[in-house]
Amino acid sequence: MSSEGEHVVSMTDVEVHFETDSGIFSRDSDVVQAVDGVTLDVEAEDVVALVGESGCGKTTLGKTAIGVQRPTSGSVTYKGQDIWEARDIGGNADIPFDEIRRALQIIHQDPGASLNPNKTVMHTLNVPLRMTNPGMDAFDRRERVHEMLSRVGMEPPEDYANRFPHQLSGGEKQRVALIRALLMNPDLILADEAVSALDVSLRIDMMDLMLELQDQFDTSYLFVSHNLSNASYITGKADGRIGVMYLGELVEVGPIDEVLENPQHPYTKVLMWAAPNLDPDADAQTRSPLRKIDIPDPRNPPTGCRFHTRCPEAREVCKQRPPVTEMDDEGDHRVMCYRALDEHEYWDSPEIEDEADDMPR
């Protein structure tokens, strides 16, 4: 949809490392490299999906993109302005931090926890209105809330506005969370597993709604999900991009249809194998292509290419970190794998020896 235009959010070589205390008697605290050297841009009115298993860093990266998580190194900019610099130097920044904070919003995964259980829907939705339109009086705000509730299909709006969260279904709560985020007039919304807690038949509804309102409110989505089918639906309909993450690294990123048709990274292919398929005729390869069933401990990731311990195509040379290869001229489709290079010693390198606890190939 848009590969030109100003970047709304731009992350360059971002690293987020957490120190975890392992107890009173630990000698040194372990460091979890939740995000390690990721570069990613989000354009205006864009949809970018981040997929991967839990612990891959997609949520951390998402929160870094909206300025909630401070990176330990690298930069995050909003419309050119470094977010954390704006926070540190206060009034002198080109774009003040307050403005940035309001432009980047979130929709959480668990609808049950994303709304204040003690406040009515009307109260909850009044908050963003008061922040963005201080001139509006209570009466007008009320009308606006009713209008938005109608817009997302919650009729009659007066009834819904007076309800408490426990009186709403999961889908309804998520819609309220969506309205709340949109009423801030943001430039980017992080949808952190926003449809994962909903019933399967409701997910399409919610994703369609998000896309419909995207036009109206002129916002982008960063859609974090462990479910490839959901991610492919929403990015597909919006002609967006998908980023695949593994143990803190962005191993492949590109336009959704291209990545699905022509996956370059072995991990992407594994994810596609794992995505449940409705078509019983499809060639169901039942054996797992992975060499090991469990993800390595993020405190102690494998050296070089982090996927090499489980990769079905791993070779000795993979113990060194592969470069990022552009698959096309526009720089849209990037992969971090030796296999993307036609000529490399990878092709001559021997396969890695199987270990005792490997899954049978």
Positions 84 through 113 that interact with another protein (CB under 8 A) = 98, 101-102, 104-106, 108-110, 112-113
Coil vs helix vs strand at 316? helix
Min. distance of Cβ 131 from another protein in angstroms? 6
Strand partners, 77: 10, 82
275 binds another protein (CB under 8 A): yes
SS3 of 163-203: the string is CCHHHCCHHHHHHHHHHHHHCCCCCEEEEECCCCCCCHHHH
Report the Cα 179 to chain-centroid distance in Å.
19
- Residue from 72, 75, 81, 133 binding another protein (CB under 8 A): 133
CB of 165 to another protein, least distance (A): 8
Q: Least distance from C-beta 42 to another protein, angstroms?
A: 16
Contact 301, 248 (CB under 8 A): yes
CB of 349 to another protein, least distance (A): 25
Nearest CA-CA partner of 245 in 67, 92, 58, 32? 58
* Closer residue to another protein (CB): 28 or 357: 357
213-252 footprint of another protein as x/- string (CB under 8 A): ---xx--------xxxxx-xx--xx---------------
Interface region with another protein, contact rule CB under 8 A, candidates 39-47, 74-82, 149-157, 326-334: 149-157
The residue written with tokens 């007066």 in the block is 158
Residues 297-356 that bind another protein (CB under 8 A): none
112: burial class by Cβ within 10 Å (0-12, 13-18, 19+)?
middle
Residue of the chain from 13, 19, 208, 354 that contacts another protein (CB under 8 A): 208
Choosing from 13, 94, 147, 354, the residue that interacts with another protein (CB under 8 A) is 147
| Minimum distance from residue 11 beta carbon to another protein (Å) | 18
Q: Which is nearer to another protein, 73 or 169 (CB)?
A: 169
* The one among 11, 177, 188, 318 contacting another protein by CB under 8 A: 177
Tokens found for residue 105: 């919003």
Cβ 255 vs Cβ 49: under 8 Å: no
CB nearer to another protein: pick between 27 and 287: 287
User: For residues 246-265, which are near another protein according to CB under 8 A?
Assistant: 260
Torsion sign over Cα 289, 263, 246, 320: positive
Of the residues 279, 342, 348, 353, which one makes contact with another protein according to CB under 8 A? 279
Cβ 244 to another protein shortest distance, Å: 11
Torsion, Cα 190 191 193 194, to 10 degrees, reads 150
Stretch that binds another protein, among 1-9, 289-297, 316-324, 329-337 (CB under 8 A): 289-297
Largest Cα–Cα separation, the chain:
73
Residue pair 317/345 in contact (Cβ under 8 Å)? The answer is yes
Q: Which of 15, 30, 85, 205 binds another protein (CB under 8 A)?
A: 205
Verify binding: residue 283, another protein, rule CB under 8 A. Answer: no
Closer to another protein by Cβ: residue 246 or 346 = 246
| Residue whose tokens read 């002129």 | 218
Find the binding residues for another protein in span 32-91 (CB under 8 A).
53-54, 66, 68
Shortest Cβ 323–another protein spacing (Å): 25
- In which residue are the tokens 């390198």 written? 349
Shortest reach from residue 29's CB to another protein, in Å? 18
> Among residues 5 and 153, whose Cβ is nearest to another protein?
153
For 225, counting Cβ atoms within 10 Å of its Cβ (0-12 exposed, 13-18 middle, 19+ buried), the class is: buried
Q: Which two tokens stand for residue 57?
A: 């860093």
Question: Binding of another protein at residue 278 (CB under 8 A)?
Answer: yes
Instruction: Please say whether the beta carbons of 64 and 238 come within 8 A.
Output: no
Distance of closest approach, residue 9 Cβ to another protein, in angstroms = 14
Q: Kindly tell me the sign of the dihedral angle through the C-alpha atoms of 165, 170, 175, 177.
A: positive
